[in-house]
Amino acid sequence: MKKRTTLAATALGLVTLGLVAQAANATGKLEIFSWWTAGGEADGLKAIYGVIQKDNPKLEIINATVGGGAGTNAKAVLKTRMLGGNPPDSFQVHGGAELIDQWVRGRLMADISDVWKSQGWEKVIPKDLQEMVQSGGKYYAVPVNVHRGNVLYYNKAVLDKAGVKPPKTMAEFFAAAEKLKKAGVTPLALGSQGNWQITMLFENNLVAAGGPKFYRDLVTGKVAWTDAKVKKALEDTKRMLSYTNKDSTALGWDQAAGLVLNGKAAFTIMGDWAKGYFQANKWTADKEFSSVPAPGTTGSFMIITDTFGLPAKAKNVANGKVWLEALGSKAGQEAFNVKKGSICARTDCNPKLFDPIGQRTMKDFAKDQLVPSIAHGSAVKESFASAINDEMGVFLQKGDVNATATRLEQQAKSLGAR
């Protein structure tokens, strides 16, 4: 993705309340499949359901959620349903490789270019996001949000008590971690169930070690996984893991955020759905907690976008399109993202509705270098992303930098990612 200095201008003359005439008075059933069950995720989903049911009170929404961070469990259930010819009417999927390689190229998704055209989304959704839901010039999903993956959250009271400032560089992070450890506080909270959280640490450290261009070259197969900068990122990840809670394999991301919430840990590095978790637990941004970019990644934006499309064999196609229209609407995205912790995929949402961290995220999204996430399905094909997660699980236990780099390179070649 290319660096952008401005976003698309606000479109005029669009229906901003979200639902066009076609969307009103829908009846029957609408099954929505997602993994949004925790904190702000569930609150955001409830908010978007409220938007659609306000104009469609007779529409029965079936909330088919399967818990598990990053969709670890949900994706397995979804695959069984999709391949078995029993898809939901719409489902959550990360934009980029996860959507295109698995579902679109498998001819399991319907072309929704007509919905994009009727709603005028090309005027208010940036091209970077459009490309993440396109294949062959056709649209197959609508982005509902933009998450940032390279975020370090911190408990302000814990840092103040320890005399620690929010770190910007890797050196500052390790100095802060050592000081916090001596103060009897876990420096970095980690919940590593499913291993994808370790992959997030690793991908952020890859950007820190080599910069956004190096990272993009790596994930597109132009650079070997045995490169010295990859090994530097692994070394930094290994060192970070030494400052985490010992029970990380038993915890999910939200439980790790809970350690920060209750003052047992100072930091957690997570996507900004963690902000939604903190706010759902009555914390206020820049009061009890705040955030900075993950160490060494200032100027880069690890982009993650949740999207929804229409399965080719969906039972309730008309209602599925009503849902997509609501998701892409200004009213829908404002209602959803304020709760979820993310920012709108649209460029015309009202910044004043968002907390100070959200407003800073909007500004960074407009100017930073965008890099796609490995852990969340945008950067590499699913088989390789899964292999990286498995390697990170082994790395957590053994911490062998050279062996891990070698196996990643072997996996990349065997899976066609190099």
For 173-196, give the DSSP string: HHHHHHHHHHTT-EEEE---TTSH
Report domain extents, the chain: 28-147+304-366, 148-303+372-415
Type of residue found at 42:
A
| Structure token pair of residue 209 | 């070690």
pLDDT of residue 19: 36
Type of residue found at 119:
Q
- Going across the sheet that includes 147-148, the strands are 147-148, 300-304, 369-372
Measured distance CA(172)–CA(295) in Å, rounded: 8
Residues 6+ apart with CB under 8 A from 354: 337, 338, 343, 362
Measured distance CA(236)–CA(209) in Å, rounded: 9
Topology annotation, domain 28-147+304-366: D-Maltodextrin-Binding Protein; domain 2 (3.40.190)
pLDDT tens series, the chain, 418 aa: 433 333 232 232 333 333 333 446 899 999 999 999 988 899 999 999 999 999 999 999 999 999 887 788 999 999 999 999 999 999 999 999 999 999 999 999 999 999 999 999 999 999 999 999 999 999 999 999 999 999 999 999 999 999 999 999 999 999 999 999 999 999 999 999 999 999 999 999 999 999 999 999 999 999 999 999 999 999 999 999 999 999 999 999 999 999 999 999 999 999 999 999 999 999 999 999 999 999 999 999 999 999 999 999 999 999 999 999 999 999 999 999 999 999 999 999 999 999 999 999 999 999 999 999 999 999 999 999 999 999 999 999 999 999 999 999 999 999 999 9
Burial 49-61 (b: 16+ CB within 10 A, else e): bebbbebbeebeb
Q: What's the count of helices (H) and strands (E) in the chain, helices before strands?
A: 16, 14
CA atoms within 13 A on the CB side of 269: 30
pLDDT of residue 24: 63
- The answer regarding whether domain 148-303+372-415 maps to CATH 3.40.190.10 reads yes
Measured distance CA(109)–CA(141) in Å, rounded: 9
Identify the H or E element spanning 200. helix 196-219
**Same fold across 28-147+304-366 and 148-303+372-415:** yes
pLDDT of residue 72: 83
Find out whether 417 and 384 touch, Cβ atoms under 8 Å.
yes
Measured distance CA(378)–CA(98) in Å, rounded: 6
Phi, psi (rounded to 5 degrees) for 240: -60, -45
pLDDT of residue 180: 98
